[in-house]
Amino acid sequence: MTNLLDSIVSRTGSKADRSQTYIALARAAMVWERAWPALWPATGIVGTYVAAALLGLFFFIPAALHALLLFIAVAATAFALYRGYCTFGLPRWEEAARRVERDSTLLHRPLTERDDRLLVGAGDLRTEELWRAHLQRLLAGITSLRVALPSPGLAAKDPYAARYAVLLLVVAGFVAAGTDWGRRLELAFVPAASSGAVAAQVDAWINPPAYIGEAPIYLRQGSASPVAVPAGSELALRVHSADTLPELSLDPRPAGAAALFRGGSGEYGANAKLTQDTAVAIREAGRLLGNWRIKAVADNPPLIAFAEPPGKTDRDAVKIAFTAADDYGVVSARALIRPLRVSTKSRAILAVDLPLSSASAKTVLQTVYRDLTGEPFAGLDVEITLEARDGAGQIGLSRPARFRLPARVFTNPLARALIEQRQNLALAEPHARERVARVLDALTIAPEHFYANQPGVYLSLRTAYWSLTTTQRAEDVARVQDLLWQTAVAIEDGGVLSAAEQLRQLQQLLSQALSQGAPQSVIDALLDRYRQALQKYIQALAQNAPRSGGQLPPHAKVLKAEDLDALLRAIQQMAQSGSRAQAQQMLSLLQGLLENLHLSGSVSGQGSEPGSGPGGKALSDAIRGLGDLIGKQRQLLDRSFRQGQGAGDPHDGGAKGLAGQQGKLRDDLDKIGKGLGAQRLPQPGPLGEAGRQMGDAQSQLGAGAFDGAGAAQKNALEALRQASNALAQELMKRNGQNQDGQQGNDDPLGRAAGSKGGLGGDVKIPDQSAIARARSILEELRRRASEQGRPREELDYIDRLLRVF
């Protein structure tokens, strides 16, 4: 029979489509109402097992019991699912349509009547037309459709609401597991992993190469992002409480033997070198303990270049200014000098070390002076290439620079001949040794005529000759070169040592001590030796100083002994206050001044130096006195601080004794002020403030108030520094006057103010405020080091800082 509703649907259009949508929703709701109750109690069994795993209960049961529980949970879940779904069926269209009719309260079932058939009158046109009109009227009466929310009726199957308890246990398990939830869920399905009381744990970290100086990097489990580490780092893995030997997987595998775990009794360890990007995974008894992705950052070779072309000073020392940089620090630098006029078969090369101001600095900008007049290549056109080396042993080279090395002038013909033969040996050309031996043999002909008064020279030449004819080792040839040099120097000037070279060597030692954190006692001893060598150097210059008739050259810059002494004192004070980098800069500046120093014969005793009158001397004496007073006040501040902490020296006499020492320092300050007043020189304002603060500190110490005394002593130190700075500026004004009495634009060392091209123009000399800040930081470190209630890690860190500064 023809379904008459189809023709009606084609004419009603949108209403029929809308009803089909609601019927589909009703069908989905009925599926949920039938499926969800069928999942119970299977969901309760799975949820209980998962909650037990998240709470770590399987860590404390034997593997056999764990396996039994897993079997019971799986079997019970399967049986519950079978019972729940054995009678499960999908709802039919008629049932969904009837559900929409009931939820929408439709009369006479307008949606389900589409399948009804005429029992009487089928085939009769009038009857079918009447039935069609009836159905059309029913569809036209549909105004709104709705589907009620699903009602599974799970409460009937779970009258005690056990499902909510299971849900609460699962949530509590995720909170308790934290980031370890994934591993615990994995352990729940690997019974062999729970045979012990404690699950296996992994500690993993990466040790960067020692030359980098960075702290180890600890790896956290569950980290998804790659960990960037320097290439050449060492991966360290430690597994604890493991029942079987863990397996280590590295992708890609390292060259050579693969890293393996070693150990026993549940404790295992492995190490691996990281030279490329690597994926690391650790497994034990089939389960994953940890995995990470590591990115190896390549260490690039260092870069080095000339900051300016090589040059020479007035004392024939080679000046090499260079800049270098590296990812993690330049550890050494040197200049490779190769003569230009050697044959291709010669490998003659001279390596000159360039000391660095810092042990391992990432960027270096430095100037080094080297006296190479005693080297075999002196006087030759050479090619200089700079070489930098980093902590990994990688080498970086600069572009070569051509330069003629300065040479010492020898006036004695025999000395010149020996220097020439020494140079021929150093060039290492083919058959050079045989030719030099023949020349030396010829030079020693008829010793009774040519060496009657020089037996030592003759014996030296014969020794050199026989050494060349019998030896085949390069070390012996080098000793012959040294013998020829010493003989030539002895012939020329009797073997007098160069005072300038001794000064350069002490400067290098002092610079290394400052950069390597040597104790202050070592630095003070080196400064004393440097001061003595400087005096010898000045005396040597004075013996050969030209006579200028008592007049200084036009536009001459005067550097007095007091100025050199003030520079040395400033270097010592910076080193004591912790500003060692600035002390190195000022030491380099002083060495640069000495390399270009000329001594005038009219300087001493003529009274023509600017600022050499009574006023200038009084200012210099006051500055030196304030420098000594600053050091004493700083020491008294340290003793007062220790006394306030209960760790004072019994020889100080307690608070009363310290008050007496403070009073003596105040009397010394008054003497300095009276000395300025005697020369009618203005006293700077900070000088009076320093006296008032000293008096306040004395009163506080007498009353036993160490905190107040410390604050007053710090204020007194700052005032003393300001007063010293003011007096130094006044002295600079006096020393900067030209011959016409006009104020010059130069500093006390003769450099143009603000000039970038002048000597030392790029060296920053720290002011007194910078030194004061450094001193305050040092005092704060000492204060914190005395507080034993602080954590041990912090106290150890402070101790390391105090050893450095």
pLDDT for 197: 44
How confident is residue 722, by pLDDT bands cut at 50, 70 and 90? confident
Residues 261 and 248 sit within 8 Å (Cβ to Cβ): yes
More confident position, 156 or 168: 168
Residue appearing with tokens 């020439």? 420
For residue 388, pLDDT beyond 90: yes
Highest mean pLDDT pick, 171-175, 318-322, 524-528, 769-773: 318-322
How confident is residue 43, by pLDDT bands cut at 50, 70 and 90? confident
For residue 441, pLDDT beyond 80: yes
Rounded Cα distance between 310 and 319, Å, is 6
Hey, what are 786's tokens? 């005395």
Instruction: Set out the domains of the chain in order of their start, with CATH numbers.
Output: 4-176 (no CATH), 200-297 (2.60.40), 303-404 (2.60.40.10), 421-496 (no CATH)
Residues contacting 109, CB < 8 A, separation 6+: 98, 101
Residues 306 and 386 sit within 8 Å (Cβ to Cβ): yes
CB atoms within 10 A of CB 193: 25
Q: What is the mean pLDDT of residues 655-684?
A: 83
For residue 524, pLDDT beyond 80: yes
How confident is residue 643, by pLDDT bands cut at 50, 70 and 90? confident
244-248, 422-426, 717-721, 771-775: which has the minimum mean pLDDT? 771-775
Mean pLDDT for all residues in the chain? 76
Q: What is the mean pLDDT of residues 613-636?
A: 74
CB atoms within 10 A of CB 637: 21
Q: What is the mean pLDDT of residues 232-257?
A: 82
For residue 113, pLDDT beyond 70: no
More confident position, 526 or 497: 526
Rounded Cα distance between 654 and 702, Å, is 9
For residue 553, pLDDT beyond 70: no
pLDDT in tens, 530-549: 888 888 777 766 655 554 44
2-6, 198-202, 227-231, 430-434: which has the minimum mean pLDDT? 2-6
Residues 194 and 61 sit within 8 Å (Cβ to Cβ): yes
Closest CA to 683 of 692, 693, 694, 672: 672
How confident is residue 193, by pLDDT bands cut at 50, 70 and 90? low
Q: What is the mean pLDDT of residues 282-300?
A: 83
For residue 434, pLDDT beyond 80: yes
pLDDT for 110: 64
More confident position, 788 or 350: 350
pTM: 0.45
Residues 30 and 96 sit within 8 Å (Cβ to Cβ): yes
Instruction: Give kind and range of the element (H or E) at residue 16.
Output: helix 14-39
CB atoms within 10 A of CB 717: 24
pLDDT for 800: 63
pLDDT for 760: 42
Q: Is the peptide bond before 610 cis (omega within 30 degrees of 0)?
A: no
176-to-51, 171, 172, 179, 188 alpha-carbon distances in Å: 10, 9, 6, 9, 15
338-342, 713-717, 761-765, 770-774: which has the minimum mean pLDDT? 761-765
Rounded Cα distance between 483 and 488, Å, is 9
Q: What is the mean pLDDT of residues 618-647?
A: 78
Q: What is the mean pLDDT of residues 671-684?
A: 79
E-strand spans in 275-354?
278-284, 287-297, 303-306, 311-312, 318-339, 350-353
DSSP letters along 361-412, please?
EEEEEEEEEE--TTSTTTTSEEEEEEEEEETT--EEEPPPEEEEPP-----S
Rounded Cα distance between 460 and 489, Å, is 12
pLDDT for 757: 38
Rounded Cα distance between 108 and 116, Å, is 12
97-111, 292-306, 740-754: which has the minimum mean pLDDT? 740-754
Report the sign of the C-alpha dihedral through residues 718, 719, 720, 721, in that order. positive
DSSP state of 181: H
CB atoms within 10 A of CB 34: 19
**Start-to-end C-alpha separation, the chain:** 107
Beta bridge partners of residue 263, listed in sequence order:
268
Rounded Cα distance between 496 and 645, Å, is 56
How confident is residue 416, by pLDDT bands cut at 50, 70 and 90? confident
How confident is residue 136, by pLDDT bands cut at 50, 70 and 90? low
For residue 248, pLDDT beyond 60: yes
Q: Residue 361 carries which side chain, given as an amino acid letter?
A: A
For residue 479, pLDDT beyond 80: yes
pLDDT for 619: 73
Rounded Cα distance between 688 and 722, Å, is 11
pLDDT for 82: 84
How confident is residue 383, by pLDDT bands cut at 50, 70 and 90? very high
28-42, 192-206, 578-592: which has the minimum mean pLDDT? 192-206
For residue 313, pLDDT beyond 60: yes
pLDDT for 255: 66
How confident is residue 410, by pLDDT bands cut at 50, 70 and 90? confident
How confident is residue 135, by pLDDT bands cut at 50, 70 and 90? low
Hey, what are 639's tokens? 């003793």
pLDDT for 627: 73
Length, in residues, of the chain: 805
pLDDT in tens, 49-86: 888 888 878 777 777 888 888 889 889 888 888 887 78
- Indicate left, alpha or beta for 300 from its phi (over 0: left) and psi (-120 to 50: alpha): beta
Buried-exposed string 144-154: b where 16+ CB fall within 10 A, e elsewhere: ebebeeeebeb
Pairing of strands 361-370, 350-353: unpaired
Q: Is the peptide bond before 252 cis (omega within 30 degrees of 0)?
A: yes
Residues 184 and 226 sit within 8 Å (Cβ to Cβ): no
